[in-house]
């Protein structure tokens, strides 16, 4: 997924996956996935996507601070 954040284009294909969490089974309308990425410049991003009844009904790439990324990772340990 490519997304422009603060004028910079980020591409998940060129980032490193820190952690991926899946909720529910494939095809479950309430299921979703969250993937924490770190870019080459040290920026953190959370990729989210899910079914029509999930909290994430569309693909999204959200910028996170290092502290928020660490908190997300701790919550999903």
Whether the pLDDT of residue 22 is over 90: the answer is yes
The residue ranking higher by pLDDT, 40 or 71, is 71
Q: What was the pLDDT predicted at 72?
A: 97
Whether the pLDDT of residue 5 is over 80: the answer is no
Looking only at Cα atoms, what is the longest distance across the chain? 36
Q: Say if CB 61 and CB 11 are below 8 A apart.
A: no
Question: Please, how many CA atoms are within 13 Å of residue 19, restricted to the half-sphere of its CB?
Answer: 10
Q: How far apart are CA 58 and CA 70, in angstroms?
A: 24
Evaluated on CA atoms 11, 13, 19, 23, the torsion sign reads positive
pTM greater than 0.85 (yes/no): yes
Whether the pLDDT of residue 46 is over 90: the answer is yes
Q: What was the pLDDT predicted at 11?
A: 87
* Token duo for residue 27: 């095809």
């Amino acid at each position: 997924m490519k997304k422009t954040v603060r004028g910079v284009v980020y591409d998940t294909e060129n980032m490193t996956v820190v952690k991926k969490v899946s909720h529910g089974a494939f095809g479950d309308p309430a299921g979703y996935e969250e993937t924490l990425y770190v870019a080459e410049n040290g920026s953190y991003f959370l990729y989210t996507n899910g079914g029509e009844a999930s909290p994430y009904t569309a693909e999204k790439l959200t910028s996170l601070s290092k502290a928020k990324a660490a908190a997300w990772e701790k919550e999903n340990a």
